[in-house]
Structure 1
Amino acid sequence: MTHRPSQRAEPAPHYLTEERREIRKLAREFAMNEVLPLADELDPQHGTIPDSLRDRMGEMGFFGILIPEEYGGLGLGVFEYCLVAEELARAWLSVSGLLARGNGMGGGFTEEQEARLLPRVARGEYLGAYALSEADAGSDVANLACRARRDGDEWVVHGTKMWCTYADEADYLVLFARTDPDKDPQRPHRGISAFLVEKERGSFPAGLTGTPVRKIGYFGWNTWELSFDGLRLSADALLGEEGRGFYLAVSGLEVGRAHTAARAIGLARAALEDSQAYVKQREQFGQPLADFQSIRFKIADMASRIEAARQLMYSVATEIDSGGRCSKEAAMAKLVASEMAERVTSEALQIHGGAGYTTDFAVERHWRDARLTKIFEGTSEIQMRVIADELLGRA
């Protein structure tokens, strides 16, 4: 059981232009009318996001928010991207994650590839997945063991990858593998290359198999452990320069962290709105829960924390769109929003009492999924290290 927010008018700050408010309204209506009912139905069953919803997202241009208009995208910025991500996450975190399978996945494409592929990405016809992390290289993404060796005009890949969400349904993978067999222990990031692995949607090519990860949340799609056993790629599958794949992997961190902050905020907002509705209808000791000061203070605290995280995220998105570097601030936004989301969703579950610890109410979904935001796109500990290193210098 879930609740819909009231439609009370909100004051619009100057940075929420008319165009941005319209985009947010469009995304909010789509999320509440089309995504939320599916989430309430499918998440308890560990069901899969239907193709029809993905196709609707393509029709609405959501996969091309960051893609230039010349390639069929909307040509908008990270601010608009985060607005849409928050609204989708308010309904279902997994669908807001699907948003990133189009936007931002074209890094390393040549001009020819951009002209050929980005229009399809913008329509949702060519979506990708990252094959980066490994079982022994979670946050330490420079410590990759998966290898690609040259064999004539081909690359041959051997090794494993972990945490590759959407690998089965994606149209291509961006694979990171070590191409220099002599790893420099002082500079382990050198010698890593990136590859474009094109595949049929819904299957894996020869030389690649996968096992679904048994997750406690983030349902709606599969997350995979991948095994590469002689996968062959053509020489032109290399993305960017050989040996410089690590820089491609980290080039989009600021956008990814802003996007994750937006998703965490959407989850927390869902928990807040569900709690607001619940305390108005639930009675104890002859009066609504909304009349108890302890509950009212919880709601006030939750709303304040959400708004503080949102304003930080807006600031980071604005800085990215202006062309400035903000690795420290992006790490702060991701850290603050994800930690806030876990706290707010936990408070919401507490407000619901025993009912919150059932699958009859969506608050348990918000709580489970919020916990993940502290792990992916860099753990909270990694964000604190980034922040501390910028403030104090590297230890």
Structure 2
Amino acid sequence: MTSTQDRPTELLEPEPPALLAPWHTPEREALQQQARRLAHDEVLPVANELDPRKGLLPESLLARLAELGYFGITVPAEHGGLGLGVFEYCMVSEELARAWMGSASILARSQGLGTTVPDAGRRADLLARSARGEWIGAIALSEPDAGSDLAGVRTRAVREGDEWVVTGRKRWCGNAEAADFIQVLVRVRDPEPGESRSRGLANLLLEKERGSFPAGLTGTPIDKVGYHGFLTWDMVFDGVRIPAGNELADPGSSGGGDGPETARAGFAEAQRFLNTARVHTAARAVGLARAALEDSIVHLQEREQFGHPIGDFQALRFAVAGMAAQVEQSRASYRQVAHLLDLAVPSEREAAMVKLEATEMAVRVTNQAMQLHGGNGYTTERQVERTGDARLTTIFEGTSEIQERIISDRLLPRSPLT
């Protein structure tokens, strides 16, 4: 496997133009450098050891991420978090994804997820646990027949006294068994005639022990071709009981499950979550593409043919130039949209745009990197093999086609006949 110790030092330093960006601050630069060094010195060696055998993120690495406060980047400082925004969350995630996709993805299972319970005191406690890395969860949205179409969720929750009883099936739930909780999107009532299909959905908080499933819940790991570090699950809920007080509220309201339905964290809250998730995915895609670019630069200097490094060939040099330009463009785009989200500017269209472009870019760049590596690019002996995870970024958090639908629906009103 190619040694990163031979990588030119300048590839680990901040890009000079970034210092002139309107959103640059010394604090952000310091955070980026901290995350970059962590990724290079600590995450990458672990990934090189564990990813080839589909290993899981070790507890030692999770503890290190918690020590640096990365599970609470967006958690308010009064609850022990870093009190930062989507911008910093995505910036750190890019750096981690450059080393190992799973290490960036696990951050999304915290950041205050699963904390909007009605009781204020309990909510504060969960936020503090989240910031410390002691409240890392999973989110169960998709089903076998409801992925892109979340309004079609069929998993049912029926109220029995002080509990919800959940029955149904969820798929593509990452980190489920290892989690402290699972946030489950369920249907609590059918929509009335004339109502949107998304009405009657709610999010329930299923608390659990790490490393096991509670009574009534069984899971089967999905054998993936990549994206290792944690397991992804297909789960069956058979009468799983969740306390009524664990119905999550819309963060924008003060009500809970017993209040008006507008206070219920259902479909609308899932969509808001996905806006941030899509920008986060764009950042991870940039990290993967950057890894492919940097590893290619090293390889082109090391690999010799016809008596000199293959990096001397114009065709390959120009390929690297195109890769670098695409990575830089997508980085600027995701940071712009992250900035908008931090300003609370409605940005569903922009989040879809950057997710679409950054992930498709990552597929192109990583594919080009494998080509530049020749036969070595199709082996598990080189780090560039892991950047193939870019293919998945065009699928989760909404496929590229779903992003195109979101964007086009906001640009081009549909005819009443369609």
* TM-score bucket of the superposed structures, by smaller chain: over 0.9
Alpha carbons of 1:190 and 1:132: their partners in 2 closer, same or farther (altered >3 Å)?
same
**TM-score, length of structure 1 as denominator length:** 0.97
* Residue matched to 1:322: 343
Partners of 2:146 and 2:322 lie apart in 1 by 37
Q: Say whether the 8 Å CA contact 1:183–1:191 is kept in structure 2.
A: no
Give SS of 1:231's match.
strand
Instruction: Please tell me the residue identity of whatever aligns with 1:196.
Output: L
The reply to whether residue 16 of structure 1 matches residue 37 of structure 2 is: no
Alpha carbons of 1:142 and 1:2: their partners in 2 closer, same or farther (altered >3 Å)?
farther
Give SS of 2:168's match.
strand
Give SS of 1:239's match.
coil
**TM-score, length of structure 2 as denominator length:** 0.91
Partners of 1:188 and 1:108 lie apart in 2 by 24
Residue correspondence of structure 1 range 1-395 to structure 2 within 5 A: 1-4=1-4, 5-8=7-10, 9=13, 10-11=15-16, 12-14=19-21, 15-106=23-114, 108-110=116-118, 111-181=120-190, 187-240=196-249, 241-242=256-257, 244=264, 245-367=266-388, 369-394=389-414
* Residue matched to 2:253: none
Partners of 1:58 and 1:319 lie apart in 2 by 27
Partners of 2:3 and 2:190 lie apart in 1 by 55
Partners of 2:309 and 2:352 lie apart in 1 by 40
Instruction: Please tell me the residue identity of whatever aligns with 2:392.
Output: L
Alpha carbons of 1:327 and 1:339: their partners in 2 closer, same or farther (altered >3 Å)?
same
Give SS of 2:51's match.
helix
Partners of 1:43 and 1:32 lie apart in 2 by 15
Partners of 1:158 and 1:81 lie apart in 2 by 34
Give SS of 2:406's match.
helix
The alignment yields a C-alpha RMSD, in angstroms, of 1.5
Partners of 2:191 and 2:85 lie apart in 1 by 40
CA shift at 1:7, angstroms? 2.7
CA shift at 1:182, angstroms? 5.5
* Structure 2 portions without partners, runs of 5+: 250-255
Partners of 1:54 and 1:43 lie apart in 2 by 16
Alpha carbons of 1:362 and 1:109: their partners in 2 closer, same or farther (altered >3 Å)?
same
CA shift at 1:286, angstroms? 1.2
Alpha carbons of 1:298 and 1:392: their partners in 2 closer, same or farther (altered >3 Å)?
same
Q: Say whether the 8 Å CA contact 2:114–2:181 is kept in structure 1.
A: no
Q: Say whether the 8 Å CA contact 1:3–1:273 is kept in structure 2.
A: no
Identity rate, percent: 53
Instruction: Please tell me the residue identity of whatever aligns with 1:7.
Output: T
Partners of 2:205 and 2:123 lie apart in 1 by 13
Give SS of 1:277's match.
helix
Aligned residues: 394
Alpha carbons of 1:174 and 1:301: their partners in 2 closer, same or farther (altered >3 Å)?
same
Partners of 2:246 and 2:76 lie apart in 1 by 24
CA shift at 1:326, angstroms? 1.2
CA shift at 1:184, angstroms? 5.4
Give SS of 1:195's match.
strand
Alpha carbons of 1:352 and 1:194: their partners in 2 closer, same or farther (altered >3 Å)?
same
Partners of 1:67 and 1:39 lie apart in 2 by 27
Q: Say whether the 8 Å CA contact 2:190–2:199 is kept in structure 1.
A: no
Q: Say whether the 8 Å CA contact 1:131–1:164 is kept in structure 2.
A: yes
Alpha carbons of 1:81 and 1:227: their partners in 2 closer, same or farther (altered >3 Å)?
same
